[in-house]
Amino acid sequence: DSGVTQTPKHLITATGQRVTLRCSPRSGDLSVYWYQQSLDQGLQFLIQYYNGEERAKGNILERFSAQQFPDLHSELNLSSLELGDSALYFCASSVRGGPGYNEQFFGPGTRLTVL
């Protein structure tokens, strides 16, 4: 158990819908990262927040958005869902956002299935 929690564990929804994935980082961690893992694309970095501020952006679609709240939990919002959005979504946290030792600890993931 990494100490990072994610809810829900599974999510099944239809195309065109909007969902929100939630992540609580390990106690003391200020940085949160979101990743998407699919069979054909591997583990893809989406976005990073550090102490409430967006720090880095990766291959995140415009239909997706995220935020980190004052209590440091984070939410990833996915809208106008398409079949291709079906994937495992991981949240990770680290004490710092870099540089230096910023090893990331991953949550159990949310499996999203879009029908």
Nearer to another protein, 14 or 53 (CB): 53
Q: Which one of 20, 61, 95, 105 is in contact with another protein (CB under 8 A)?
A: 105
Q: Quick count: other Cβ atoms within 10 Å of Cβ 22? A: 15
Q: Is 89 in the site for another protein (CB under 8 A)?
A: no
CB 45 within 8 A of CB 31: no
Rounded distance between C-alpha atoms, residue 59 and residue 36, angstroms: 9
Nearer to another protein, 17 or 113 (CB): 113
Q: Is 36 in the site for another protein (CB under 8 A)?
A: no
CB 23 within 8 A of CB 13: no
Q: What is the CA radius of gyration of the chain?
A: 13
Q: Which one of 24, 107, 112, 114 is in contact with another protein (CB under 8 A)?
A: 107
Q: Is 25 in the site for another protein (CB under 8 A)?
A: no
Q: Is 44 in the site for another protein (CB under 8 A)?
A: yes
